[in-house]
Chains A and B, each alone.
Chain A
Amino acid sequence: GAGVSQSPSNKVTEKGKDVELRCDPISGHTALYWYRQSLGQGLEFLIYFQGNSAPDKSGLPSDRFSAERTGGSVSTLTIQRTQQEDSAVYLCASSLEGRSGELFFGEGSRLTVL
């Protein structure tokens, strides 16, 4: 499909383990965002990538969280030493340069930390 693709769709892990979540943005979209949404809560901004500029990591909740975007396309969000409070749906979105208010979201990766 031509939409934003995220994997895995569901991930169950044990407390203390590391997890990687992947996002494939829409081809040609230069901006990529990560948000997370805890059960019954709103969307919380995590990190933003725009082209070759340095990413804005201001929303990352702790140094256990990191993200990279290789080749200006695929992005990976890594959570080290997961905690139960990390349980949430992690949403990726992308947008065209110059139309950065029109985000296209993926279906999300649901992370459950036991």
Chain B
Amino acid sequence: DAKTTQPPSMDCAEGRAANLPCNHSTISGNEYVYWYRQIHSQGPQYIIHGLKNNETNEMASLIITEDRKSSTLILPHATLRDTAVYYCIVRVASGGGSNYKLTFGKGTLLTVNP
């Protein structure tokens, strides 16, 4: 069952901010939002995660709406190397059972253009 909805593709100009949206309207109170990306021919790479507060690290910023039904991943100054498929995933932060699995959807193919 799909828990997140992302646009299949987006374009961004090099040096500009890339804003990648994700809808997760059925998110539960104990579920976090995780973002990964997969550059062509490489394994996925963890980017950032958050619960309800906005988060920032050296790679990106994560903005989560107050109702937590959607979020936006922001790459402040996109480079050509940021061209990748970006996955938005919701799941509990830790714990056993089937909830631990990260289920990857189809993601958004971000193409950064020169």
Contacts and interface: CB of A to CB of B under 8 A. Distances in A.
Interface of A: 4, 31, 33, 35, 42-43, 45, 48, 50, 53, 56, 58-59, 91, 93, 98-108
Interface of B: 32, 34, 36, 42-46, 49, 91, 93-96, 98, 100-107
Given A91-B43, A93-B43, A106-B43, A101 B49 contact: yes
Given A42-B104, A100-B95, A102-B49, 10 more contacts: A31-B100, A35-B104, A42-B105, A42-B107, A43-B104, A45-B103, A59-B101, A101-B34, A102-B46, A103-B102
B43 A107 contact: yes
A74 to B, nearest CB: 17
A105 B100 contact: no
A97 B68 CA distance: 26
A72 B93 CA distance: 22
12 contacts: A33-B102, A45-B101, A45-B103, A50-B96, A53-B96, A59-B101, A91-B43, A98-B94, A101-B49, A101-B91, A105-B43, A106-B43
B107 A101 contact: no
A48 B45 CA distance: 18
A68 to B, nearest CB: 19
B44 A100 contact: no
Contact of A48 (B100, B103, B105): B100
Contacts of B94: 98-101
Contacts of B105: 42
